[in-house]
Structure 1
Amino acid sequence: MLLTRVVETSAAVGATRSRTEKIAALAALLRLLEPDEVEPTTAWLAGEPRQGRIGAGWRTLSGLVTDPADEPTLTVAGVDAALTELAGAAGAGSARRRKELLGELFGAATGDEQAFLVRLLTGELRQGALEGVMLDAIAAAAQVPAGTVRRAFMLSGRLPGTAAAALTGGAAALEAVRLEVGRPVRPMLAGPGDSLDAVLAGLGPQVSVEFKLDGARIQVHRDGAEVRVWTRTLHEITDGVPELVELVRALPCRTVVLDGETLALDDDGRPRPFQDTMSRFGSDTGSDAGDLLSPFFFDVLHLDGVDLLDAPLHKRIEALGGLVDGAEPTLRIPGVLRPSAEEAAAVLDAALVAGHEGVVVKALDAPYAAGRRGRSWQKVKPVHTLDLVVLGAEWGYGRRTGSLSNIHLGARDPDGGEPIMVGKTFKGMTDELLAWQTATFPRYAREQRPHEVLLRPELVVEIALDGAQRSTRYPGGVALRFARVVRYRPDKTPADADTIDAVRALLRG
């Protein structure tokens, strides 16, 4: 297939806000692909090459946009092969070879293809929930149940591979995908709850109430002596967290998959600033790079040859307790089972006193819904917070002259479109944060203007707010009330940001 067909489909998907039309356009293209074209095309339509980042920035790539080819000749297979060679270029002479490869690729591309390649290779095609739209399109193209596609994807963590299995092997190939120790699954997520009383009333008495730690999500796999650790975005950090590896290696089991949180604690057992925890995630040098991390596990997905994903939570908690109870230091997240309203409120109070965010209430009869944010897990925090995408920033004035200050905030479009702007804020920014924004934002610039910088939608920031209000100023019809920066979330991608629906749910009345 010619690349131009992919470019045309991408443009059609971007031009409509209708989820149904997006799915139809994507499915129509997928049905036309040869088997070896499925994985690269699926990856591109979801917004990134299957080879990952190739190491060329916006400035380099935009400089390659020269006289375009008159007619489209590039094929999917040919472009994928070029990207594979680019990603593998290393050693002496690699910079020159990469420049040659990019020059050949862009020289053979039409104008529309050049623009597509620049956006693809710089991350501009990422559209948050487009991944979810792609899953529905795969199901439609392969004529298999959407739930079967989603489960296979959540267990494999690879969208291109899921598409290839569906389109070449159908439902049988998808159903054959199983949890594998050593291959991370996408984590189950908690949805926001209105209040502790409301969540308890909705889920009933058969629940657990656990601390919501002010830490970072981890998934740990052990197979014999080998232990590996991943973040919530399935980025492996094993080499940077040797203390976590040693603690799990000491547990009385042979194989296990654990879900939990990790964070740095001070001498009094209180959480250190979130950035102290995250500084370890970017290090390859282990515990010498910063504070020791403490793990707290709340779920087990596999134990000694038995998969527990489909077991009810109370069975998984029982298995977890048999594995980690009595361990030193404590590896179990604090919480209670089947609490009264008073006992649940006491857990929330204890979490807040200890410096954490709140609690998570979980239905004890629920299986582990990998990759989903449903009603079976609900988080309760005393302050509304949203994870939003930074779309731009304005140059400050007065005391903030010379600093990129007022940031533009976008919520995720659940139908795969660009993030939807819902407000601006400069509140909550320290001098250190202003300096970081001013140094960092230019690396993500998509457009420089006299008074502002527009950014590629890649950075996620946690925002506290008092609610939302209806507004005609922003395209989503809603605006944040008294928004203020809590912290940036390098552990999250735009696909993890809260949706415009979550913002609208905060409207009073």
Structure 2
Amino acid sequence: MRFLELARTCEQVASTTKRLKKILYLSEFLKSLEPKEISPAVLLITGQVFPESSDKTLDVSWKTIQKALHSGQEPLFHKELSITDVYHYFQEISKTSQRKKKERIISSLLTQAAEREKTYILKNFFGEMRIGASEGIVLEAIAKASGLPKEDVKRSHALLGDLGETAVRALTQKVLLTDIILFQPIKPMLAQMGYLLNISEEMALEYKLDGARIQIHKTTDITKIFSRRLTDVTNSLPDITALVQDFPESVTEGEVVAEKKGKPLPFQELLRRFRRIHDIEASTEEIPLKLYLFDCLYLKGKTLLNCDYTERTGLLSEFAQPFSVKRIITDNIKEAEPFLNEALKAGHEGLMAKHLDSVYIPGKRDKSWLKIKPVEMLDLVIVAAEWGHGRRKGWLSNYHLATKEGNVIGKTFKGLTDQQFQEMTERLLTLKVDEDLYTVYVRPHVVVEVAYNEIQKSPTYSSGYALRFARIKNIRDDKSPEDADTLERVQTLYENQFKYKAKRKI
């Protein structure tokens, strides 16, 4: 199929705000595809290009794209681009690290594209389609096109971590994944925000660690470790691999924490370990990690997702007791409160409260798990940054913070060190999509954890809200923009403020 048809479908989807219409347009398009076109088409419509679990990247800067656009290169012959042609170009771009070669490939692609096609090709470079086709909508479109239940499609995708492959299975095989496949990372289950007063029945309370979430896949001979974003980080964590060498065939989940003298090191120190690809042995001594496990998802050939929390953690303790996260089981807030204070004193974030009968739902933020923190935080995406002045001159240092949907909720230049300002400036410039005299607009990629004193109503920002005294606590490279908090959560937090203080009508 011509890529032009994909571009037209994107225009249709962007033309309506109605969810059901978007799903209808996408499902009709999906039904018209040849089997080999399904995976590339789905990835290109969402602006992912490559699956979440893939380590491939385009690694293309705005400067490289600008050079390609103005290269003046003309193709030897013109031909209509197909969906698979465009995807092949993206694959070729990812294979080379040479800027000049990337520029030539991009130029060749863009000079063959019609203006309508060029728009959506460029949007894929920026990873921001802005047509309102979220992952959830695309999954529902796949379900509609295949005639399969949408919850089954969503679960299959959470087990695969590959939207394109999920579509292929649903549309061509009519068979969805229901069990874990070893060495195929699954999307982690997520928790909703909660409070100590939500503990109204017996629940398991665990330390909410100040670490990075990992998933360990193990057979007798092979160990693979995956990050929260489904990236293979095995080579960066040889010390963790050594710790689990005697584990049975299993998939376990937990966190690694960088610790010194029993106290967590800053989160950024931990991320240095995840990024390290050279001098690994030196880094294991410089930044020692401690392993904490809290769940067992697969054991000796059996998927445990539908087993309850009590059964899963019981099986985990049979072979991984030394690595178990600290926990208590209680229904008493008077017991929970000192346990929370103990976790905070130990340098961690707070508590996780889990219902004893909770099953594991990959990829879902579910109310059967609650995260309890003394200070509210928001995970937000940097979508623009302003050039600083005074001592911050030459740095991009006033960051525009947005929710998952792209609604700006405030700005801040607080929380980073001078070195982090410098590193963030270099990083954001590689993500630049536009700029004016004072501001650089970037592809939404960098997620930051933001503390604040209060959420206020505000007409200044597209969200309708503003953060009072916002400051960046952590740069969350372990999270993607899909993990950012939603506008709905901001609204809920705003309303929750009035449980403890008066609300004035505006």
Q: Calculate the TM-score normalised by the size of structure 1.
A: 0.90
CA distance in 2, matches of 1:293, 1:127: 42
Mapping of residues 4-403 of structure 1, within 5 Å: 4-50=4-50, 52-65=56-69, 73-88=80-95, 99-125=103-129, 130-170=134-174, 173-174=175-176, 176-193=177-194, 195-197=195-197, 199-201=198-200, 204-205=201-202, 207-251=203-247, 253=248, 255-267=249-261, 269-285=262-278, 286-289=280-283, 290-325=286-321, 327=322, 331-403=323-395
Contact persistence 1:215–1:274 (CA under 8 A) = yes
Counterparts of 2:78 and 2:18, CA distance in 1: 31
Q: Which residue of 1 aligns with 2:469?
A: 482
Indicate the SS of the match to 2:69. Answer: coil
Question: For residues 431 and 128 of structure 1, what CA distance do their matches in structure 2 show?
Answer: 37
- Of residues 389-398 and 29-38 in structure 1, the stretch that sits farther from structure 2 once superposed is 389-398
Identify the range of structure 1 (400-409 vs 216-225) with the bigger mean alpha-carbon deviation: 400-409
SS at match of 1:501: helix
**1:187: Cα distance to partner?**
0.6
Q: Is the 8 A contact 1:189 1:377 kept in 2?
A: yes
Unaligned runs of 5+ in 2: 499-506
Partners of 2:199 and 2:331 within 8 A in 1: no
For 1:128 and 1:492, the matched residues in 2 are separated by 21
Pair 127,337 (structure 1): closer, same or farther in 2 beyond 3 Å: farther
- Secondary structure of the 1:63 match is helix
Pick closer, same or farther for the CA change 1:72–1:134 going to 2, 3 Å: farther
Report the more deviating stretch, 73-82 or 258-267: 73-82
Contact kept, 8 Å, 1:129 with 1:495, in 2: the verdict is no
Q: Quick one: which amino acid aligns to residue 500 of structure 1? A: L
- Aligned equivalents of 1:428 and 1:89: distance in 2? 36
Change (3 A) 1:127 1:257: farther
C-alpha contact (below 8 Å) 1:230/1:237 kept by paired residues: yes
Q: Distance in 2 between matches of 1:351 and 1:492?
A: 23
- Contact 1:189 / 1:374 at 8 angstroms: preserved in 2? yes
Q: Secondary structure, in 3 states, of the residue corresponding to 2:338?
A: helix
Q: For 2:338 and 2:331, how far apart are their aligned partners in 1?
A: 10
Deviations 1:106-162 (A, max 9, x none): 221011212221221232338898112211111111121111101111111111000
Contact 2:14 2:130 survives alignment (8 Å): no
> 1:432-482 CA distances to partner (integer Å, 9 max, x unpaired)?
333333333212222222112111111101100123122222222222222
Distance in 2, Cα, partners of 1:357 & 1:99: 45
Match of residue 416 from structure 1 = none
Aligned residues: 486
Distance 1:192 1:464 in 2: 15
* Separation of aligned partners in 2, 1:452 and 1:59: 16
Cα 1:100–1:396 change in 2 (3 A) is closer
**1:407 aligns to what SS in structure 2?**
strand
SS state of the match for residue 144, structure 1?
coil
The alpha-carbon deviation at position 48 of structure 1 amounts to 2.2
Per the alignment, do residues 114 and 62 of structure 1 end up closer, same or farther by CA in structure 2, a change over 3 Å counting? Answer: farther
* Equivalent position to 2:408, from 421, 427, 432: 421
1:455-466 equivalences in 2 (<5 Å): 455-466=442-453
The alignment's TM-score, normalised by the length of structure 2, stands at 0.90
Answer yes or no: is the 8 Å Cα contact 1:361–1:379 preserved in 2.
Answer: yes
Deviation at 1:501, TM superposition (A): 0.7
Identity percentage of aligned residues: 34
Shift of 1:21: 2.8
The offset of 1:95, in angstroms, is: 6.8
Change (3 A) 1:471 1:104: same
Gaps in structure 1 of 5+ consecutive residues:
414-418
CA contact (8 A) 1:277 1:291 kept: yes
Alpha-carbon separation, structure 1, partners of 2:125 and 2:325:
40
SS in 1 for 2:298: strand
Of 469, 473, 477, the match for 2:456: 469
Please give the per-residue CA displacement for 1:364-417, whole angstroms capped at 9, x wherever unaligned.
10110011101011101000100000011122233333332221110012xxxx
Q: Could you give the per-residue CA deviations for residues 148-180 of structure 1, whole angstroms, max 9, x where no partner exists? A: 10111111111100001111122xx11x54211
AA partner of residue 182 (structure 2): V
Deviations 1:171-211 (A, max 9, x none): xx11x542112111111111111x211x213xx22x10000
Contact 1:129–1:412 at 8 Å: present in 2 too? Answer: no
Distance 1:39 1:337, change over 3 A: same
Partners of 2:276 and 2:451 in 1: CA distance: 29
How much does 1:100 deviate? 4.7
Structure 1's 280 and 129: CA in aligned 2 closer, same or farther, altered over 3 A? farther
Q: Which amino acid aligns with 2:273?
A: R
The amino acid that maps onto 1:408 is H
Deviation at 1:18, TM superposition (A): 3.1
Q: Partner letter of residue 379 of structure 1?
A: K
Between 1:357-366 and 1:464-473, the stretch displaced more is: 464-473
Contact kept? 2:64, 2:99, Cα under 8 Å: no
Match of 1:457, SS state, is coil
- The residue type equivalent to 1:270 in the other structure is K
SS of residue in 2 equivalent to 1:249? coil
CA contact (8 A) 2:380 2:403 kept: yes
* Amino acid of the structure 2 residue aligned with 1:136: E
Q: Contact conserved, 1:128 with 1:495, CA < 8 A, in 2?
A: no
Contact 1:210 1:336 in 2 (8 A): yes
2:371 is aligned with what amino acid? K
Q: Distance in 2 between the 1:462 and 1:140 partners?
A: 36
| RMSD between aligned residues | 2.3
Give the Cα–Cα distance (whole angstroms) in 1 for the partners of residues 6 and 78 of structure 2: 15
The separation in 2 between residues aligned to 1:20 and 1:190, in whole angstroms, is 28
C-alpha displacement of 1:488 = 0.8
- Could you tell me whether the CA contact under 8 Å between 1:384 and 1:467 is conserved in 2? no
Question: Shift of the alpha carbon at 1:303?
Answer: 1.3
